[in-house]
Structure 1
């Protein structure tokens, strides 16, 4: 696969008086079509790292390459067309009086011809399964519905990369599942690259690769299975563990031998059934 994003020795400090930089000498690459989750405690630098990708934050040193373009003042808007961002609070993103008006807003700014704009708006809203809410006010929707409309607004712009910046953190479990299922379906159909900045371990479990940030540094990198197997080390960094890993830890404390490999909840259920059937 081709690398769609490359960060080389990125550093950034918000204020000269800060005790430590927000980002410190970070290098990484992301391949086209990957789903990357970036996790870490508050203040670890994960959101700052995401904002370097589309130029919302300009690194004090290092180089950012997106879609083969080295980020600069000359091409920042070309890069921003490649990268769509969905933020934590969808209410802060709404500008239209109806769902379809809101999704059309970014296209109007880009000067997309009206016939094409109508087709894109309808297609994007249908993709997030909100076609029955075209004329509704965004403010009257549920949290999950609002976030799906925000995603539609990004999808209509047809970026190559979508960044979810804590996009599910304000949602209830059902809303979170709806949004993640929506993103997953869109990603697979359009081969999008997804970067998820999250505290939610279940969201991170959807990723191909998980990056762990701590105090502005990239400290661990691997598949969800590899990262979650660190167990207590993640807890010491202020991070949570998937339910199945917590259950394994509790069973281990009670003297029950458990698999060393990472298990999803479904895998844990299968293992428990096998264990119980032997008794």
Structure 2
């Protein structure tokens, strides 16, 4: 099966005089239906990489294909219809005076008939559990609610791919959980491909595959289990560790024999219950 996203030897500089490219000969592919997280320290190139996928930035070298279409002037608008982006600050995405107006805005730009638009707005708000807020002003919502509205605006456009560009970084833990749960549900309902650009290791743990960026290069990739089991290496890259790995390290320091393999939070609870608390 052909990948839904394919980058080959991408190089990008914000300034031709820069000594180091923001992206340096990056190649990767993402299959339809995957949830891929891209992690890395500030300035590693992960957000730049996301912006090359829908043509917000055009690489100076290499090729980008989305849905078997090459990224070029002829195809750029078709590709942008396939890719929806949710950014860090939802306030920067709001243009409507009410939640339902805001969700409808992108469809108005695409000339979607009003009857279809009303149905899509309702369906999108139902998917993010924001129907009861449709006549509210976006500015009066909580951070998590705002991001759910921003996601509804993207979902209403029926993209094949959603890119989350640090979409949970400004939220409190409860808001992050809300947004991640919403994306998981929408992904399954709509058979979407999700690309998550994140500093949040716990968010990345929900992905089926994790890509690690450093200084504009892709330096590692694998399942969350593979990537997060190399704890000290993540710390060297300026990244955090998932909570279960932190807990394992603390228990090991107290002389507790802990599993060598990576555990999710649910797996850690099961292990604590069966192997530690029952002793």
Shorter-normalised TM-score: what interval? Answer: over 0.9
Corresponding position of 1:233: 233
CA displacement at 1:270 relative to structure 2: 1.8
Corresponding position of 1:104: 104
Tell me how large the CA RMSD over aligned residues is.
Answer: 1.1
TM-score, normalised to structure 1, is: 0.98
Corresponding position of 1:173: 173
Say yes or no: does 1:258 pair with 2:244: no
The DSSP-based 3-state class of the residue aligned with 1:3 is coil
CA displacement at 1:276 relative to structure 2: 2.7
Say yes or no: does 1:156 pair with 2:194: no
The DSSP-based 3-state class of the residue aligned with 1:136 is coil
Corresponding position of 2:9: 9
1:69-108 mapped onto 2 (5 Å cutoff):
69-108=69-108
Q: Give the total of aligned pairs.
A: 279
The DSSP-based 3-state class of the residue aligned with 2:241 is coil
Say yes or no: does 1:23 pair with 2:23: yes
240-249 vs 35-44, greater mean Cα deviation: 240-249
CA displacement at 1:117 relative to structure 2: 0.7
The DSSP-based 3-state class of the residue aligned with 2:199 is coil
Show CA shifts across 1:19-75 (max 9, x none).
311001111100000000000000000000000000001011000000000100111
Provide the rounded CA distance (Å) in 2 between the counterparts of 1:183 and 1:164: 9
Provide the rounded CA distance (Å) in 1 between the counterparts of 2:277 and 2:239: 34
CA displacement at 1:277 relative to structure 2: 5.2
Corresponding position of 2:183: 183
Structure 2 unaligned regions, length at least 5: none
TM-score, normalised to structure 2, is: 0.98
Provide the rounded CA distance (Å) in 1 between the counterparts of 2:147 and 2:274: 40
The DSSP-based 3-state class of the residue aligned with 2:4 is strand
Say yes or no: does 1:56 pair with 2:56: yes
Provide the rounded CA distance (Å) in 1 between the counterparts of 2:169 and 2:278: 41
The DSSP-based 3-state class of the residue aligned with 2:96 is coil
Corresponding position of 2:246: 246
Show CA shifts across 1:90-130 (max 9, x none).
00000000001011111010000111111111111111100
Provide the rounded CA distance (Å) in 2 between the counterparts of 1:156 and 1:277: 47
Corresponding position of 2:221: 221
Corresponding position of 1:34: 34
Provide the rounded CA distance (Å) in 2 between the counterparts of 1:17 and 1:255: 53
Corresponding position of 1:194: 194
